[in-house]
């Protein structure tokens, strides 16, 4: 059985990549390419859910990772896969959001050269599955970079307004951030002689580098990875990218890819560099507060529904960073719950806001109105997504925000209060958007744009149901994620009260 | 003097240059056959030339040339990997030349392959030499062949212009090298040791100021060849005008040979290496900055490739500086040399892959090929645009392409060597390079109609291009799996 899980883990990475290559290379017919794409999206999602179900602490090896593929392939040639309590929820998130984005793309009838579109998406989602399934830090980095070129091309070909500049801005920003993080990884490698996270952990536990060395390495990882997560002030690429990217890519990028930087911080940087993490926590908290409050205020000023969703995602990343900055098991666990919940809800929001904008031919929320009675299903999902992002109990985001705030209280009551202010801001812009779009009456300028009021089709409803179901399921049973997290974060020295 | 053995050449001496002998003999036989056979047999001759080049891979592969440690009158060291590299470059250039000649039927063909073979042979000797005299002679032989190749398109003014510019610049660099050689030899005469042998460089650095002075000139000559600051200015002009197959050959083979010589010299200077490290790092930083930042606004494709080549020369110099700093650690130096070969092979696959696409435009000399001409390439030829994307991503250093591993290994070695600021410069340069490579990718996927020059389809080179892109994509991953043991 153990071998079966390992093959499943590898298949969840290999199948989407292979399907992507098949779509990119062979001139399949429309039907065949849709089928190939469907296989490429469903298999990793099913595999992720299956592994989630099978994941048990009993499967842990000494290294803290389950399903390690080293029993099948040994040697440095192939990437080493495995899951622990932290990578599992991210892996599941990648699977679910990947499937939802894929189904959404399949539901759209008007995508030009669908074969290319789906091929690029599959390469990106295969890379994401690989990034979270890898145990080797270099492979984590490489799988993450799989997304760069596909997103760039997709933005240039299928993107919205201002796509050429936005695509270039994204490419340069993300590469700079990734290279800074790579230098950090290289320094970690030089201190331990391996890129393999398990070996690194052992070597750093046996011979921790001095505080000065840690303090030197940590900012490369913090700011490099921070750029990937749109940490203030390196966030300016994110809103424009998400607004210009085609829907499915925006879902994958904002929903999953962006969580990678946080994941690396939690999985690699904090366990290996505990002293530096403590020292830099103050700086991180200050920048994260800027994300929460400043970007929250910027979000309030948005009138374009897509821009509002984009900015809100930047603002919510601040909460995750605050959870990390609190340097406690509770805060980090809250950050992971928040990452999970935000990934699902922001993907849903991007999907629905694109649907809305495409149907109404108008992006200004203030001009919209009365959509509730004309497209009840879309409105229902949209409201659910907004309620999830502002942290209504019952959705997983609630647990995330709650744990982060509780953890922050111990870190600093002032920071906790400012963080709570961010939540109020997000409630203001979220509920106001709902009121603008769905209630009241449409402006006459909206009618001039000749809106088409067709509700979500059944094919479009499936991905929405999938995302909402995941949000509610983990919202009701948060321990499906948190029990694994306790295991991982319990041993992180940065979270101990007195580490020196 | 002491190192020159006056022994009678043995079989091992001749075997050590078997590849080169085979190349030159094949060239001579082809020339004779061209005269003797009727004109319609020319096509067959050209195919024979490429087949012969492929067969010659057997010499370095079989280890025939590797009979003795140092051979051919103690003037050469053994480097089968570089012989393979040179042959691969010659094969790719020949394949590209077939396409090029189909655009202009009036050009001489068989002679092109002959000159290319002689050029490759002298390039191999150049890279393998351990004596400055032989280095100089083979350098000149190689460079003269390249002047001829650069001017191959006789009726094209840009080609002739490129050749004349190359001739002047090459003459200057040759003269600098010779001047340095004279000084070094003179310094040796007064102290009784033949400093022209690399193995005596350390002694020369210790004992003679004249030697150091001469060495500066020798390095200047080599920096011309590799295209490093401050001798980089000729590259865009020459690349732009030369026939595209020749541009590719210049970009890859000639640069790699000069890089190998720089590495061998850097490895032989075990004393005073801190000054050499400083000089090489400053030059590397300047080259990276100049190459990348002048490329930002460049829209002529072949000039852009030249500027990208300059920035790559900068990355190679970073590795050279790291090598020089490991003066007391020969194992690390060997690792660095392996990384250099890896880097050059990755660069070869990506650059040839791109030049094959550049060569597929209908215009004869490609010298005015503009970024705009690539608009809508993805609609006309998905194969061309996707392979172009992969190869450009490799040059930009995006994982999982081979170019990423090349840069990663260079950064790791530079970090080991303590050249932290140089790593910073490399990262800034790489981030800047994202811009011009990605603009190219973006243009290839744009919807608009192309510029004036029409894309003529990949034609017969399609399979080569796809193979090159496939290798670029996967080969780094496989090689890297075997490398970590080397650290």
User: How confident is the model over B338-391, as pLDDT tens digits?
Assistant: 889 989 999 999 999 999 998 888 777 778 888 888 888 888 888 888 899 999
Looking at per-residue pLDDT, the higher value among B331 and B139 belongs to B139
Cα dist from A288 to A215, A222, B195, B227, whole Å: 19, 12, 62, 46
Say if residue B173 is in the same domain as residue B291: yes
Give Cβ neighbours of residue B155 (< 8 Å, ≥ 6 apart).
B104, B106
* Any domain includes B127: yes
* Any domain includes B232: yes
pLDDT of residue B65: 62
Asked if the Cβ–Cβ distance from A186 to B484 is below 8 Å, we say no
Interface test with B, best of A134, A153, A191, A192 (most B CBs within 10 A): A153
Give Cβ neighbours of residue A222 (< 8 Å, ≥ 6 apart).
A265, A269, A280, A283, A284
Cα dist from A21 to A235, A401, A481, B399, whole Å: 32, 40, 33, 16
Asked if the Cβ–Cβ distance from A152 to B393 is below 8 Å, we say no
pLDDT of residue B187: 85
SS3 A500: coil
Half-sphere exposure of A226 (CA within 13 A, CB side): 23
ipTM: 0.87
User: Model confidence over A13-67: pLDDT tens digits?
Assistant: 889 999 988 888 888 888 888 898 899 899 999 999 988 888 876 666 667 787 7
Average pLDDT of span A424-453: 84
Say if residue B433 is in the same domain as residue B445: yes
C-alpha B52/C-alpha B54 separation (Å) is 5
Average pLDDT, chain A: 86
Average pLDDT of span A349-359: 88
Using an 8 Å CB-CB cutoff, list chain A residues near B487. Answer: 193
Q: Is the pLDDT assigned to residue A70 strictly greater than 70?
A: no
Say if residue B87 is in the same domain as residue B211: no
Share of chain B above pLDDT 90, in %: 34
Cα dist from A107 to A177, A202, A353, A374, A468, whole Å: 34, 48, 16, 21, 18
pLDDT of residue A77: 54
A211 touches chain B (CB under 8 A): no
Say if residue B141 is in the same domain as residue B176: no
Of residues B393, B399, B442, nearest to A156 (C-beta): B442
Domain boundary among B124, B147, B170: B147
User: Model confidence over B422-458: pLDDT tens digits?
Assistant: 999 999 999 899 999 998 998 888 877 666 777 777 7
B435 touches chain A (CB under 8 A): yes
User: Model confidence over A357-373: pLDDT tens digits?
Assistant: 888 888 888 888 778 88
* Any domain includes B3: no
Say if residue B461 is in the same domain as residue B380: yes
Interface test with A, best of B391, B403, B438 (most A CBs within 10 A): B438
CA distance, residue A419 to nearest chain B CA (Å)? 34
Looking at per-residue pLDDT, the higher value among A261 and A75 belongs to A261
Say if residue B183 is in the same domain as residue B284: yes
pLDDT of residue B89: 94
pLDDT of residue A60: 65
C-alpha A17/C-alpha A12 separation (Å) is 9
Say if residue B162 is in the same domain as residue B250: yes
| Contact map slice: A 19-78 vs B, CB within 8 A | 24, 75-78
Provide, for chain A, the percentages of residues in helix, strand and coil under a 3-state DSSP scheme, each rounded to the nearest 5: 80, 0, 20
pLDDT of residue B1: 40
pLDDT of residue B422: 93
Asked if the Cβ–Cβ distance from A179 to B431 is below 8 Å, we say yes
Give Cβ neighbours of residue B244 (< 8 Å, ≥ 6 apart).
B96, B100, B302, B355, B358, B359, B365, B366
Average pLDDT of span A128-134: 91
pLDDT of residue B273: 73
* Any domain includes B4: no
Interface test with A, best of B288, B383, B390, B398 (most A CBs within 10 A): B398
pLDDT band at B3 (very low <50, low <70, confident <90, very high): very low
Q: Is the pLDDT assigned to residue B310 strictly greater than 90?
A: yes
Average pLDDT, chain B: 85
- Print the domain residue range for B54: 9-147
Asked if the Cβ–Cβ distance from A186 to B412 is below 8 Å, we say yes
User: Model confidence over A153-179: pLDDT tens digits?
Assistant: 888 888 877 888 888 889 989 999 999
A148, closest residue in chain B (CA to CA): B398
Average pLDDT of span B16-20: 83
SS3 B48: helix
Domain boundary among B130, B147, B164: B147
Asked if the Cβ–Cβ distance from A176 to B427 is below 8 Å, we say yes
Average pLDDT of span B63-80: 64
C-alpha B181/C-alpha B21 separation (Å) is 27
pLDDT of residue B486: 45
**Sequence ranges of the domains in chain A:** 2-495
pLDDT band at A225 (very low <50, low <70, confident <90, very high): very high
Say if residue B131 is in the same domain as residue B158: no
Cβ proximity of A310 and A251 under 8 Å: no
Q: Is the pLDDT assigned to residue B335 strictly greater than 90?
A: no
* Any domain includes B1: no
C-alpha B146/C-alpha B134 separation (Å) is 18
Q: Is the pLDDT assigned to residue B2 strictly greater than 50?
A: no
User: Model confidence over B195-239: pLDDT tens digits?
Assistant: 778 877 777 777 778 888 888 899 999 998 898 888 888 899 899
C-alpha B487/C-alpha B485 separation (Å) is 6
Using an 8 Å CB-CB cutoff, list chain B residues near A180. Answer: 427
Say if residue B394 is in the same domain as residue B270: yes
* Any domain includes B472: yes
Average pLDDT of span B285-291: 93
pLDDT band at B410 (very low <50, low <70, confident <90, very high): very high
Interface test with B, best of A74, A115, A137, A186 (most B CBs within 10 A): A186
Give Cβ neighbours of residue A25 (< 8 Å, ≥ 6 apart).
none
Domain boundary among B111, B127, B147: B147
Average pLDDT of span A261-270: 91
Say if residue B372 is in the same domain as residue B240: yes
Looking at per-residue pLDDT, the higher value among B9 and B275 belongs to B275
pLDDT of residue B450: 62
DSSP string, B69-120: SEETTTTEE--HHHHHHHHHHHHHHHHHHHHHHHH-TTS--HHHHHHHHHHH
Say if residue B353 is in the same domain as residue B292: yes
Q: Which of A302, A299, A150 is nearest to A230 (CA)?
A: A299
Q: Is the pLDDT assigned to residue A500 strictly greater than 80?
A: no
pLDDT of residue A76: 55
Say if residue B172 is in the same domain as residue B308: yes
Asked if the Cβ–Cβ distance from B411 to A145 is below 8 Å, we say no
SS3 A294: helix
* Number of domains chain B is built from: 2
**Chain centroid to CA A340: how far?**
7
pLDDT of residue A92: 93
Share of chain A above pLDDT 70, in %: 96
Using an 8 Å CB-CB cutoff, list chain B residues near A193. Answer: 487
User: Model confidence over A104-116: pLDDT tens digits?
Assistant: 988 888 888 888 8
pLDDT of residue B66: 59
Give Cβ neighbours of residue A458 (< 8 Å, ≥ 6 apart).
none
A28-32, A91-95, B148-152, B403-407: which range is least confident on average?
A28-32
Asked if the Cβ–Cβ distance from B415 to A186 is below 8 Å, we say yes
């Amino acid at each position: 059985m153990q071998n079966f899980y390992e093959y499943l883990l590898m298949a969840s990475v290999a199948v989407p990549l292979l399907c992507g290559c098949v779509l990119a290379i062979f001139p399949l017919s429309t039907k065949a390419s849709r089928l190939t794409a469907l296989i490429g999206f469903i298999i990793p999602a099913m595999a992720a859910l299956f592994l989630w179900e099978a994941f048990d602490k009993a499967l842990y090896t000494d290294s803290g990772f389950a399903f390690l593929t080293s029993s099948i392939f040994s040697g440095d040639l192939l990437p080493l896969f495995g899951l622990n309590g932290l990578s599992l929820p991210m892996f599941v998130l990648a699977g679910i959001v990947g499937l939802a984005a894929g189904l959404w793309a399949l539901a759209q009838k008007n995508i030009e050269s669908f074969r290319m579109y789906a091929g690029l998406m599959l390469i990106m989602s295969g890379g994401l599955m690989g990034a979270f399934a890898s145990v080797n830090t270099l492979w984590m980095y490489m799988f993450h970079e799989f997304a760069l070129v596909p997103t760039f091309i997709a933005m240039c070909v299928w993107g919205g307004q201002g796509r050429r500049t936005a695509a270039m801005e994204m490419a340069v920003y993300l590469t700079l951030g990734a290279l800074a993080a790579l230098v950090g990884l290289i320094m970690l490698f030089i201190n331990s002689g391996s890129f393999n996270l398990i070996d690194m952990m052992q070597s750093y536990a046996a011979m921790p580098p001095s505080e000065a060395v840690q303090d030197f390495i940590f900012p490369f990882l913090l700011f490099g990875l921070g750029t990937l997560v749109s940490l203030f002030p390196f966030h300016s690429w994110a809103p424009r990218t998400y607004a210009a990217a085609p829907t499915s890519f925006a879902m994958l990028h904002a929903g999953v890819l962006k969580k990678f930087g946080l994941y690396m911080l939690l999985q690699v940087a904090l366990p290996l560099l505990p002293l530096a993490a403590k020292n830099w926590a103050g700086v991180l908290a200050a920048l994260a507060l800027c994300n929460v409050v400043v970007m929250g205020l910027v979000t309030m000023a948005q009138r374009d529904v897509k821009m509002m969703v984009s900015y809100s995602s930047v603002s919510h990343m601040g909460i995750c960073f605050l959870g990390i900055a609190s340097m406690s098991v509770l805060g980090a666990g809250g950050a992971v719950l928040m990452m999970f919940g935000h990934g699902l809800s922001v993907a849903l929001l991007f999907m629905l806001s694109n649907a809305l904008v495409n149907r109404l031919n108008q992006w200004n929320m203030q001009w919209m109105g009365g959509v509730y009675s004309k497209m009840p299903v879309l409105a229902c999902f949209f409201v659910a997504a907004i309620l999830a992002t502002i942290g209504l109990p019952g959705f997983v985001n609630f647990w995330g925000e709650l744990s982060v705030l509780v953890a922050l209280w111990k870190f600093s009551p002032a920071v906790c209060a400012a963080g709570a202010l961010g939540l109020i801001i997000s409630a203001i812009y979220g509920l106001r958007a709902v009121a603008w779009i769905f209630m009241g009456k449409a402006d006459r300028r909206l009618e001039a744009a000749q809106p088409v009021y067709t509700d979500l089709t059944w094919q479009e409803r499936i991905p929405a149901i999938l995302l909402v179901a995941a949000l509610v399921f983990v919202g009701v049973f948060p321990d499906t994620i948190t029990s694994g997290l306790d295991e991982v974060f319990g041993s992180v020295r940065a979270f101990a009260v007195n580490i020196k | 003097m002491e190192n020159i053995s006056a022994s009678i050449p043995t079989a091992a001496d001749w075997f050590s240059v078997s590849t080169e002998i085979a190349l030159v003999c094949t060239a001579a036989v082809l020339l004779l056959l061209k005269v003797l056979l009727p004109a319609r047999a020319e096509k067959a001759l050209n195919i024979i030339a490429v087949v012969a080049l492929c067969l010659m891979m057997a010499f370095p592969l079989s280890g025939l040339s590797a009979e003795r440690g140092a051979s051919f009158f103690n003037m050469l060291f053994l480097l089968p990997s570089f012989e393979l590299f040179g042959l691969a470059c010659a094969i790719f250039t020949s394949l590209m030349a077939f396409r090029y000649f189909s655009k202009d039927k009036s050009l001489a063909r068989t002679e092109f392959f002959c000159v290319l073979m002689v050029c490759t042979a002298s390039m191999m000797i150049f890279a393998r030499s351990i004596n400055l005299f032989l280095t100089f002679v083979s350098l000149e032989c190689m460079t003269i062949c390249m002047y001829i190749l650069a001017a191959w398109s006789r009726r094209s003014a840009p080609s002739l212009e490129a050749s004349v510019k190359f001739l002047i610049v090459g003459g200057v660099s040759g003269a600098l090298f010779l001047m340095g050689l004279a000084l070094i030899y003179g310094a040796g005469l007064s102290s009784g040791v033949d400093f022209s042998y690399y193995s005596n460089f350390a002694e020369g650095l210790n004992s003679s100021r004249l030697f150091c002075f001469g060495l500066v000139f020798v390095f200047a000559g080599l920096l011309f060849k590799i295209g490093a600051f401050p001798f980089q200015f000729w590259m865009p002009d020459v690349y732009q005008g030369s026939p595209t197959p020749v541009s590719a050959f210049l970009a890859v083979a000639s640069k790699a040979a000069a890089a190998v010589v720089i590495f061998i010299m850097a490895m032989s200077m075990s004393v005073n290496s801190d000054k050499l490290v400083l000089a090489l790092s400053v030059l590397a930083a300047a080259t990276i900055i100049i190459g990348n930042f002048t490329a930002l606004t460049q829209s002529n494709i072949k000039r852009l490739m030249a500027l990208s080549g300059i920035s790559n020369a900068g990355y190679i110099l970073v590795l050279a500086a790291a090598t020089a700093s490991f003066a007391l650690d020969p194992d690390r130096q060997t690792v660095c040399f392996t990384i250099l070969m890896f880097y050059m092979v990755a660069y070869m696959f990506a650059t040839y892959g791109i030049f094959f696409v550049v060569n597929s435009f209908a215009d004869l000399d490609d010298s005015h090929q503009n970024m705009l001409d690539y608009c809508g390439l993805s609609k006309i030829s998905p194969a061309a645009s996707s392979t172009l994307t992969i190869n450009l991503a490799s040059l930009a250093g995006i994982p999982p392409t081979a170019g990423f591993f090349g840069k990663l290994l260079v950064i790791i070695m530079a970090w080991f060597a303590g050249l932290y600021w140089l790593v910073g410069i490399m990262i800034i340069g790489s981030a800047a390079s994202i811009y011009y490579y990605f603009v190219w990718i973006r243009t290839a996927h744009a919807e608009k109609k192309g510029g004036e020059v029409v894309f003529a389809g990949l034609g017969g080179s399609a399979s080569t291009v796809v193979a090159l892109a496939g290798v670029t994509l996967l080969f780094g991953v496989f090689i890297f799996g075997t490398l970590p043991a080397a650290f």
